[in-house]
Amino acid sequence: MSGASWGFVIAGLVLAVLTLTYVLRPLWRTRRMAGIAVIAGLTFATALAYVAIGTPAALDDAQREMPRTLEDAIAKLEAELQRDPNQVEGWRLLGRAYIAQGDSAKAADALGRAIKLAPDDPDLLAEAAEMRALAAPERRFDAEGVAMLRRAIELQPMHQRARWFLGIAQRQAAQPAEAARTWEPLLTIVDAAAAVPLRAQIDAARAEAGLPPLPQAAAATPSTAGLKVRVTVAPELAAKVPANASLFVIARQAGGPPMPVAVEKLPAQEFPREVVLDDADSPMPTMKLSQLDKVDVLARISASGDATPQPGDLEAKARVSDKSGVVELVIDSVRP
């Protein structure tokens, strides 16, 4: 199937999800997981039906018969992939169809084929690792699945699904302290409703490791001594700052993990901009700016307002600071 044809498949999936979400809203409200399952199943059927009969090749009378069952549609997709196996989205869709069919072993194999074609897709890596675990006799993540999850996090450090699954794998491997450390950064990005059960799981893992529960988030009281940062934009990029963009000023443990120990999000306007980072800006309950002697300081302008770096963001090169004086950052590059 051509790239254009797969574009129609993806567009069909989006349309199906939007339509089904609206139609099944009462079910979503009363039984959320059931709603998800119904939407997923019907969406798979829509996509598979298109793959089976919606391509230009289907103009041939011999190929215009509508598949009567999900199994028939899967068989047609399998035949299409046998004809042209270099279709990432085809293998991905086939894997999800096998999931809807309840065959996790075949799903793991199909997603493994997709991984070979797109080894640097974090969503695909997390999905493939999950399917490997579901296909295992005791639902355990094996070494290859764990490697996929670590690779996904390397590519996208705050990938929620990969971090969640890696933490589960670490608890399965009797590494509760590591599981807690893997999950703790998620508290900085999930909403309040999700944070409650997540914190409970983190505390359970910490208890297994003989560690105390996470401290409750203290009320925001700015520290008197903060990290002063002055951000300017290089003249050649000044005209490229998008309207309504956001400025992120971030401090991280020097040479450490990518999670911030302090961050402020501000409107990207009126440069130069002076910012003071302190413990009130620390999203990590177990790591505060005041605990570190040196930090990496960086700034980024995001058109989307998303905390996760995106191609096209305007960035300043990170600088190491001992938190004395003013850190001067110049936004002078575009993220590829």
**Complete DSSP assignment for 152-218:** HHHHSTT-HHHHHHHHHHHHHTT-HHHHHHHHGGGGGTS-HHHHHHHHHHHHHHHHHTT-PPPPPPP
Distance CA 277, CA 292 (A): 13
Instruction: Indicate whether 19 pLDDT > 50.
Output: no
DSSP string, 73-101: HHHHHHHHHHH----HHHHHHHHHHHHHH
- Give the C-alpha distances (Å, rounded to integers) separating 267 from 25, 147, 191, 238, 302: 35, 38, 22, 14, 10
pLDDT in tens, 177-235: 999 999 998 887 777 778 888 989 999 999 999 999 988 754 334 444 588 999 999 99
pLDDT in tens, 136-166: 878 899 999 999 999 999 998 889 899 999 9
The residues, any chain, with a CB within 8 Å of residue 71's CB and separated by 6 or more, are: 101
Instruction: Indicate whether 50 pLDDT > 50.
Output: no
Distance CA 311, CA 319 (A): 21
Instruction: Indicate whether 24 pLDDT > 50.
Output: no
pLDDT value for 95: 83
Distance CA 254, CA 297 (A): 9
> Hey, which bits of the chain come out as E strands?
227-233, 246-253, 260-267, 273-277, 295-302, 314-316, 319-321, 326-334
pLDDT value for 66: 56
Rounded percentage of the chain residues whose pLDDT exceeds 70: 76
pTM of the model: 0.50
- Averaged over 110-118, what is the pLDDT? 89
pLDDT in tens, 289-317: 887 888 999 999 998 887 778 889 999 98
Instruction: Indicate whether 43 pLDDT > 70.
Output: no
User: Domain 3-208: which CATH class?
Assistant: mainly alpha
Q: Is 303 exposed, middle or buried (0-12, 13-18, 19+ CB in 10 A)?
A: middle
Choice between 259 and 108, residue whose per-residue pLDDT is larger: 108
Sign of the Cα torsion 200, 123, 89, 135 reads negative
